Amino acid sequence: DAGITQSPRHKVTETGTPVTLRCHQTENHRYMYWYRQDPGHGLRLIHYSYGVKDTDKGEVSDGYSVSRSKTEDFLLTLESATSSQTSVYFCAISDNIMNTEAFFGQGTRLTVV
Amino acid sequence: QKEVEQDPGPLSVPEGAIVSLNCTYSNSAFQYFMWYRQYSRKGPELLMYTYSSGNKEDGRFTAQVDKSSKYISLFIRDSQPSDSATYLCAMSAQGAQKLVFGQGTRLTINP
């Protein structure tokens, strides 16, 4: 398995609180991604990074921010959690721009109450 | 209209059957086509990818891409109960830096 670890694996938080999810990789891949997965929507891209301190928005970025200060770590922050952000969050890594071999973490199940 | 359309199923077939999973897409710039398998409560895992049109085979799995019709398929031969999972198609364009996913087809292989 690719060396990619997400933490925490499960989290329950209250509406309005900030939440940070962590993705850690040991593959030294350049590209890192955060997706959310919801029934009926599949995987949707939140933010991605193409290098240290280089990030960009995906299709569902509102309410989320990211940071990448080291190659191996990509953090996703929900600035003020809302119930609509209840979802399963996946981190992915890739060593090429076309994502032909993207590897996914095990996911973080986030519930906002 | 979504860029990538995939029938969510569920699809249920007997063990040993040939399974056909499909996606259509609207963006003619897509050149890289991937299939992922996702078991319940796990992350997606890459099965195979294909560049441009044509076929690619890996064991019991065959991926087909027809760019003229904007249609891709994954065939599973001699299906096994262990193939029961959600199958996601994904696509990317040259230099796009990101994948676009279909919503996944839930497949069950019955012993």
- How is A33-69 classified by DSSP, letter by letter? EEEEEETTTEEEEEEEEEETTEEEE-TT-TTEEEEEE
- Token look-up 């019991």 returns B60
pLDDT (0 to 100) of residue A98? 72
Best probe of the B interface among A10, A66, A98, by most B CBs < 10 A, is: A98
State the average pLDDT over residues A78-104: 91
Peptide bond into A18 cis (omega under 30): no
pLDDT (0 to 100) of residue B35? 97
Q: From the CB of residue A41, how many other CB atoms can be counted at a distance below 10 Å?
A: 14
**Is B48 in the A-facing interface, judged by CB distances under 8 Å?**
no
Looking at this protein, which amino acid is placed at residue B22?
Answer: N
CA B11, B15, B19 angle in degrees (round to 5)?
Answer: 45
Residue A1 clears pLDDT 60, i.e. is over it: no
pLDDT band at B96 (very low <50, low <70, confident <90, very high): confident
Of B42, B98, B103, which has the smallest distance from its Cβ to A99's Cβ?
Answer: B98
Say yes or no for a CB contact (<8 Å) between A31 and B97: yes
pLDDT band at A2 (very low <50, low <70, confident <90, very high): low
- The alpha carbon of residue A82 is apart from the nearest alpha carbon of chain B, in Å, by 23
Residues 6+ apart with CB under 8 A from A13: A19, A81, A110, A111, A112, A113
Q: Are A48 and A75 in contact (CB under 8 A)?
A: no
Task: Convert the pLDDT of each residue in A5-29 to its tens digit.
Answer: 999 999 999 999 999 999 999 999 9
pLDDT (0 to 100) of residue A102? 87
Report the DSSP beta bridge partners of residue A79: none
For B39, name the nearest residue in chain A, comparing CA atoms only.
A106
Count of positions (residues) in chain B = 111
- The alpha carbon of residue A28 is apart from the nearest alpha carbon of chain B, in Å, by 17
Q: Are A93 and A48 in contact (CB under 8 A)?
A: no
E strands, B1-111, are 4-6, 11-14, 19-25, 30-38, 45-51, 54-58, 61-66, 71-76, 85-93, 100-101, 105-110
pLDDT band at A95 (very low <50, low <70, confident <90, very high): confident
- The alpha carbon of residue A49 is apart from the nearest alpha carbon of chain B, in Å, by 9
pLDDT (0 to 100) of residue B2? 83
pLDDT (0 to 100) of residue B20? 96
Partner B, chain A 43-82, Cβ-Cβ below 8 Å: 43-45, 48, 50, 56, 58
State the average pLDDT over residues B88-111: 91
Proportion of chain A above pLDDT 90, given as a percent: 87
Q: Are A46 and A61 in contact (CB under 8 A)?
A: yes
Q: How far apart are CA A61 and CA B2, in angstroms?
A: 18
**Is B62 in the A-facing interface, judged by CB distances under 8 Å?**
no
Q: How far apart are CA B12 and CA A49, in angstroms?
A: 38
Q: How far apart are CA B19 and CA B35, in angstroms?
A: 14
